Structure 1
Amino acid sequence: MGRRFGLDRGRDTVGRRKGERGPGMDGLVEQAAHQVIGAPEEELDLALDTGASLLAASAEQWPEVSRAVLVFAERTVARAWAGGWRPADLARVVRRRLGPVHQALAVDLVAAEGRRHPAATLDRRWQEQLHELSTEVWWEGDDRFLADFAQHHRLDRFALATAVLELLRTWSHLPPIAPVGPVPGAAPQRGAGAGRGESRMLSRIRALLAKAESTEYPEEAEALTAKAQQLMAQHSIDEALLAAARPAEDAPAALRIGVDNPYEGPKTMLLDAVAAANRCRVVWAKEFGFCTVVGFDPDLDSVELLYTSLLVQATSAMQPRQTGRSRHPGTADGGRHPESASRTKSFRQSFLVAYAARIRERLTAATEQTTSDAAAGRHLREDGSCEQLVPDERLLPALAAREEAVDDTVGRMFPKLTSQRVRVSDGEGWAAGRAAADRASLHGRAGAIPR
């Protein structure tokens, strides 16, 4: 970081007066960390310099510092879990507020704390987040962690000690938030997806989407992705009917999806549109860069898949016009826009707002049609064929009960909500966004917004 701190000439290499008996290394790390954590903003630089100098002063004691840092970080991470945070959340906060070295350090500290928890005690989404972050205890021993990390990232001891203290301060200042699943070691919750493998229907949906994204022919992609969307809606209906026979075992769950700048407001509108069509609710925590999505587990999977895909499509459609073959149907150039228009902030903001509004209309219509068919006894099989069954009178009451349960859960998790409006200031961007939404394939991968 470029900071240096001059030690008192009357002190030894770890900051003690000659002849004084100092604290153990655990105590020294705690002292440095608490000084940084508790420092007001105007005194933070001095606290960081002082603390990093104490930790990095002696090469001989660096292995002891390494072990003590991991012990302190483990307690910090465990407190974050108890406060409702999850692995992806901690990594996201660090990515938004600090730098790539801190991000790598955060992943390793999450991996170190994770040694306490067997995989069987973690719910499905927790395990998925660890996999996406590529958490791994790669160092030979805890006494080697800091030395190996510094060598890999080409840092000196002072720079690494500073990064450690900055990271611990950031995590320690996080407030408690509404939990979206059990902490490691707690009893598994069905809503969190613990112990559940991927259903055959969801596997079929993923296969359709993979084919849709690999084909070079727009008509084929549209057909494949439309079928995938139909299967998503049918999957949700099937789950609702199954759950109607065991209501005590079925309850709404929640997950968090990152929504970052630029244009975080319109992106949240898009997520809200996808969630609403899948009978879920969205609450935006703008200061932390994520949305909490509340719904039943199969619907949450659909929301995550569909939102990711539509966001990628929207981003691609906003790019300036290019020559050559395009997979985007509708026009020869794929509906791209002149660079003079698409590069302006107002155009992109308006584009995404319009895109989200039109996607909401399309998804709502698709969900209503699928529900109407199901109420009439028309059932979509996993292989894509349709069969006529006896209409199930439980369906509409079951879906209504699920929507009510989701609303009640949101009310308990977030008793105080406000709304935020997103402005549209570019008419050309609005028109282009609606046109792009009309061309978008309604599939997924892997207004007012509550916040």
Structure 2
Amino acid sequence: MRDDKTLARIAALLRQAEGTDNEHEAQTFMAAAQRMATAAAIDLAVARSHDPAARERSVPVARQITIGTAGKRGLRTYVQLFVAIARANDVTVDVAHNSTFVLAYGFDTDVDTVEALYSSLLVQMVAASDAYLKSGAYKGERAARVVRRGSGWRSRRVVEETALSPITARLNFQSAFAERVGARLSTARDEARAEATRSERDSGGSSTAIALRHKEVEVADFYSEQSSARGRWRPARAEAGYSEAARRAGDRAGRRARLGDQQRFGSSRGAIEG
């Protein structure tokens, strides 16, 4: 079930966000795009709950999305960004063992939303981390990692500090960027849901909350039937170490992130080089 007019309106908001140099305007457009996507998802969920024929036509799907090529460093932070966006849009994700692709489970329009947001925000994340490294701001900073010293029963875990390398700086930066973007999108989603349920509650209704719960259960049941994943994917800290400075820089970039310039909401650039 697709609403092309709604998708076109969201695409316009994304282009507005991309086109402004004003950080606050960009954040406003981004939040508006997420709230509109959430409102559209709510409308579809409510419509399906009242229309048996619509429930037959619209069912969850599983879609494979390419993240990158095997052996490329940093794919886990790309996956982390995708998962963060998916969580804000009712999509469950399985991750390939080498992070080269993900399987997204959810309703097709929700997966479209995730792909569109990801395709834009990934480009921004890579560009922002490149700019951070080129600025040289990471030089002189330190990275910490836990290592084991000694052997046998005398071995112990200690924190080792080293100079912050470019790859460690990049991974920490991108991880913090993904976390901040996910938090912003989730906040916009929660605000849209609260507004919808509050308005309905004031008029004595409750179909929105019920429809959202039914949708959640339907996606969860579909995932249980379709997924063969073992365990739960978790974002890993940068293997080379942890850098508070690089994470602060990534968090700031995530706060400033703007949404995409795709001509049609739902189009995806796929994996990028970087």
Q: TM-score, normalised by structure 1?
A: 0.47
Deviation, 1:375, is 0.3
CA RMSD of aligned residues (A): 2.8
- Superposition map of 1:342-357 within 5 A: 344-357=166-179
238, 242, 250: which is aligned to 2:58? Answer: 250
Decide whether aligned partners of structure 1 residues 434 and 299 sit closer, same or farther in structure 2, where only a CA change above 3 A counts.
same
318, 325, 334: which is aligned to 2:129? Answer: 318
Task: Give the counterpart letter for 1:400 in structure 2.
Answer: R
Could you say which residue in structure 2 is the equivalent of 1:114? Answer: none
Could you say which residue in structure 1 is the equivalent of 2:206? Answer: 393
Could you say which residue in structure 2 is the equivalent of 1:366? Answer: 188
Deviation, 1:376, is 1.4
Paired residues of 1:283 and 1:292 also in contact (CA < 8 A): yes
Deviation, 1:343, is 6.9
Where has structure 1 moved over 4 Å in runs of 4 or more? none
Deviation, 1:417, is 1.9
Q: After the TM superposition, which of the residue ranges 222-231 and 288-297 deviates more from structure 2?
A: 222-231
Decide whether aligned partners of structure 1 residues 322 and 359 sit closer, same or farther in structure 2, where only a CA change above 3 A counts.
closer
Q: Which runs of 5+ in 2 are unaligned?
A: 142-163, 268-274
124, 134, 137: which is aligned to 1:338? Answer: 137
Deviation, 1:213, is 1.8
Task: Give the counterpart letter for 2:251 in structure 1.
Answer: R
- In the alignment, the residues of structure 2 paired with residue 363 and residue 411 of structure 1 have an alpha-carbon distance, to the nearest angstrom, of 26
More strand by share: 2
Task: Give the counterpart letter for 1:297 in structure 2.
Answer: D
Decide whether aligned partners of structure 1 residues 364 and 208 sit closer, same or farther in structure 2, where only a CA change above 3 A counts.
closer
Tell me the SS of whatever aligns to 1:311. helix
Deviations 1:115-154 (A, max 9, x none): xxxxxxxxxxxxxxxxxxxxxxxxxxxxxxxxxxxxxxxx
Tell me the SS of whatever aligns to 2:87. helix
- In the alignment, the residues of structure 2 paired with residue 419 and residue 444 of structure 1 have an alpha-carbon distance, to the nearest angstrom, of 32
Could you say which residue in structure 2 is the equivalent of 1:264? Answer: 75
Deviation, 1:237, is 0.9
Deviation, 1:350, is 1.2
Could you say which residue in structure 2 is the equivalent of 1:428? Answer: 245
Decide whether aligned partners of structure 1 residues 208 and 361 sit closer, same or farther in structure 2, where only a CA change above 3 A counts.
closer
Task: Give the counterpart letter for 2:237 in structure 1.
Answer: R
Paired residues of 2:17 and 2:29 also in contact (CA < 8 A): yes
300, 310, 320: which is aligned to 2:111? Answer: 300
Paired residues of 2:79 and 2:99 also in contact (CA < 8 A): no
Could you say which residue in structure 2 is the equivalent of 1:25? Answer: none
Decide whether aligned partners of structure 1 residues 371 and 420 sit closer, same or farther in structure 2, where only a CA change above 3 A counts.
closer
- Superposition map of 1:86-105 within 5 A: none
- Superposition map of 1:17-416 within 5 A: 199-245=4-50, 246=52, 247-260=55-68, 261-287=72-98, 289-320=100-131, 338=137, 340=139, 344-377=166-199, 390=203, 392-416=205-229
Q: Which runs of 5+ in 1 are unaligned?
A: 1-189, 191-195, 324-335, 379-387, 447-451
- In the alignment, the residues of structure 2 paired with residue 354 and residue 282 of structure 1 have an alpha-carbon distance, to the nearest angstrom, of 20
- In the alignment, the residues of structure 1 paired with residue 165 and residue 256 of structure 2 have an alpha-carbon distance, to the nearest angstrom, of 21
Paired residues of 1:235 and 1:298 also in contact (CA < 8 A): no
Task: Give the counterpart letter for 1:316 in structure 2.
Answer: A
Paired residues of 2:94 and 2:229 also in contact (CA < 8 A): no
Taking only the aligned residue pairs, the percentage that are identical comes to: 29
Paired residues of 1:226 and 1:442 also in contact (CA < 8 A): no
Counting matched residue pairs gives 230
Deviation, 1:418, is 2.4
Tell me the SS of whatever aligns to 1:282. strand
Paired residues of 1:229 and 1:443 also in contact (CA < 8 A): no
Task: Give the counterpart letter for 2:102 in structure 1.
Answer: C
Q: After the TM superposition, which of the residue ranges 299-308 and 416-425 deviates more from structure 2?
A: 416-425
Paired residues of 2:133 and 2:166 also in contact (CA < 8 A): no
Q: TM-score, normalised by structure 2?
A: 0.74
- In the alignment, the residues of structure 2 paired with residue 314 and residue 215 of structure 1 have an alpha-carbon distance, to the nearest angstrom, of 17
Task: Give the counterpart letter for 1:284 in structure 2.
Answer: V
Paired residues of 1:280 and 1:299 also in contact (CA < 8 A): yes
Paired residues of 1:319 and 1:337 also in contact (CA < 8 A): no
Could you say which residue in structure 2 is the equivalent of 1:439? Answer: 256
**Structure number with bigger Rg:** 1
Paired residues of 1:305 and 1:443 also in contact (CA < 8 A): yes
Decide whether aligned partners of structure 1 residues 434 and 391 sit closer, same or farther in structure 2, where only a CA change above 3 A counts.
farther
